[in-house]
C-alpha cells in the first residue's frame, strides 16, 4: 500500500509541478523588461537531456540492468522516433502563445484520435467498436469547449485562438506518428523496453537538436543563453521543469511495472483534470458553465475507455478461471481485449499469456505476447 501511495503521489507531485512550470515558462514574462522565453528548441533540448539522463540512471540503478546493445538498425530506429518527437514538441509550446493552458490540456486528450488514425493508415490496425464512441465523445467535447468561449472581460483575446488549436492538432498528428512508430519498434525488437525508449530516444533527440542549434546561421542558442544570464529566475524554472518531467516518467514506469496499465491510466486521467483545475484557479483563467460541461464530456469519454479495459480484463480472467475451451467466440473476445490502440499489459493480466497462446494454437513464451508501450505522459 505504501508503494502505491508513493507512486501515485510521485506522479501527482512531479507532473502537476511540471504542468505549472510549463505554463509559467512558456507564457509568463521575466525581469523588468517583461520578456518571454521563446526558445522552444532549447527548452525541448534541456527536457530531452534530463529525460535521457534520468532514464539511464533508472535502468542502471533502479532496475540494475545493463544498457541495450546497440546495432546500426537500432540506432536508425531510435533516430527515426527522435526526429518525429523533436518535430512535435515545438508546436505544442508555440500553441501556448495563442491558447490558454486549460484549452491545450483538454485538446491534448484528443491524442488517441491521431494515434488511431496513424495506426490505421500506416499499419492497417483495427480497433474495438467502443473506441470510436470514445473518440466521438472526446472530439465533440473539445469542439464544444472551443466554440463556447468565455466572454469575460480582461481575458487575453488570443486565449482560444483557432490558430493555437491548429498548432496543437499538428503536435498531436506528429505525436500519433511517434507512438505508431514506437509500437512498431517494440513489436519488431523484444529486447527494447519503455525505459530504453525513454533513454535512447531522448539521447538521439539531443543529438538532432544540438546539430540544429549549433548551426552558425541559427542564433537561438546564443540568444537563449543571453536570456538566461539576464533572467536567472527563468533558469531555475526551466531546470525544475525538466527534472520534474523526467522524474515523473520514472514514477510512471514504476507504477506500470508494479500496479499495471489500468491503474496508471486512471491516475493519468485524474492528473490531467487536476492540471486544468490548478491552471484555472491558480493562474486566473476563465471557464464558463458550457466549457465545464464540455470538459466533463471529454473526461466521461476517457473514463468509458478505462471502464471498457477493465471489463476486458474481467473477460480474460474469467475465461481462464473457468477453463473454457478455446473457441472462435473466445478468440474474438481475446482480440477485442487487446485491441491495438491500447492493449492490456501481460503484467496486468498474467492469464492473457496462456489464453492467447491457446487461442493461437501455439506455445508462445510470455515475452512474445507482452506489449511494451512507452508512456509519454508529457505529450498527453
State the pLDDT at residue 253.
76
Summarize pLDDT for 46-68 with one digit per residue, the tens.
Answer: 999 999 999 999 899 888 888 88
3-class secondary-structure state, position 30: strand
Name the CA dihedral angle for 371, 379, 276, 58, rounded to a multiple of 10 degrees. Answer: 70
3-class secondary-structure state, position 288: coil
Query: Which among 260, 244, 268, 271 is positioned nearest to 54, based on CA atoms?
Result: 244
Summarize pLDDT for 250-289 with one digit per residue, the tens.
Answer: 888 777 767 766 677 677 777 877 888 888 877 777 777 8
Least confident range of 6-15, 189-198, 201-210: 189-198
Summarize pLDDT for 357-380 with one digit per residue, the tens.
Answer: 554 444 443 333 333 343 343 334
Contact 50, 245 (CB under 8 A): yes
Cell of 355: 489464453
Query: How would DSSP label each residue in 318-378?
Result: HHHHTT----HHHHHHHHHHT-TTSPPPTTT-THHHHHHHHHTTS---HHHH-------GG
Q: How confident is the model at residue 318 (pLDDT cuts 50, 70, 90)?
A: low
Specify the higher pLDDT residue, 89 or 375.
89
Taking phi first (over 0 means left), then psi (-120 to 50 degrees means alpha), and beta for anything else, what does residue 325 get? beta
Contact 30, 235 (CB under 8 A): no
3-class secondary-structure state, position 136: helix
Amino acid at each position: 500500500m505504501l508503494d502505491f501511495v508513493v507512486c501515485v503521489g510521485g506522479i501527482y507531485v512531479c507532473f502537476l509541478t511540471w504542468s505549472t512550470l510549463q505554463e509559467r515558462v512558456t507564457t509568463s514574462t521575466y525581469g523588468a523588461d517583461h520578456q518571454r522565453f521563446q526558445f522552444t528548441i532549447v527548452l525541448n533540448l534541456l527536457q530531452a537531456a534530463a529525460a535521457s539522463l534520468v532514464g539511464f540512471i533508472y535502468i542502471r540503478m533502479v532496475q540494475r540492468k545493463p544498457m541495450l546493445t546497440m546495432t546500426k538498425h537500432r540506432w536508425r530506429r531510435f533516430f527515426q522516433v527522435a526526429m518525429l518527437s523533436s518535430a512535435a514538441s515545438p508546436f505544442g509550446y508555440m500553441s501556448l502563445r495563442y491558447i490558454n493552458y486549460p484549452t491545450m490540456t483538454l485538446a491534448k486528450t484528443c491524442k488517441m484520435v491521431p494515434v488511431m488514425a496513424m495506426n490505421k493508415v500506416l499499419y492497417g490496425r483495427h480497433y474495438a467498436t467502443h473506441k470510436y464512441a470514445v473518440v466521438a465523445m472526446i472530439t465533440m467535447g473539445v469542439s464544444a469547449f472551443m466554440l463556447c468561449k468565455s466572454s469575460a472581460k480582461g481575458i487575453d483575446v488570443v486565449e482560444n485562438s483557432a490558430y493555437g488549436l491548429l498548432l496543437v492538432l499538428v503536435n498531436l498528428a506528429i505525436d500519433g506518428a511517434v507512438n505508431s512508430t514506437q509500437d512498431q519498434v517494440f513489436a519488431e525488437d523484444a529486447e527494447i523496453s519503455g525505459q530504453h525508449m525513454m533513454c535512447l530516444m531522448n539521447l538521439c533527440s539531443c543529438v538532432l537538436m544540438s546539430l540544429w542549434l549549433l548551426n552558425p546561421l541559427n542564433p537561438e542558442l546564443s540568444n537563449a543563453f543571453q536570456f538566461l544570464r539576464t533572467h536567472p529566475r527563468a533558469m531555475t524554472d526551466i531546470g525544475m521543469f525538466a527534472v520534474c518531467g523526467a522524474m515523473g516518467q520514472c514514477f510512471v514506469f514504476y507504477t506500470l511495472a508494479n500496479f499495471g496499465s489500468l491503474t496508471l491510466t486512471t491516475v493519468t486521467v485524474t492528473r490531467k483534470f487536476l492540471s486544468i483545475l490548478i491552471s484555472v484557479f491558480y493562474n486566473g483563467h476563465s471557464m464558463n458553465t458550457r466549457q465545464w460541461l464540455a470538459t466533463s464530456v471529454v473526461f466521461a469519454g476517457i473514463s468509458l475507455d478505462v471502464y471498457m479495459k477493465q471489463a476486458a480484463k474481467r473477460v480474460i480472467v474469467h475465461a481462464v478461471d473457468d477453463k473454457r475451451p478455446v473457441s472462435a467466440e473466445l478468440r474474438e473476445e481475446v482480440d477485442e481485449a487487446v485491441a491495438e490502440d491500447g492493449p492490456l499489459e501481460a503484467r496486468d493480466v498474467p492469464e492473457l499469456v496462456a489464453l492467447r497462446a491457446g487461442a493461437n494454437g501455439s506455445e508462445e513464451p510470455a515475452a512474445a505476447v507482452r506489449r511494451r508501450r512507452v508512456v509519454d505522459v508529457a505529450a498527453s
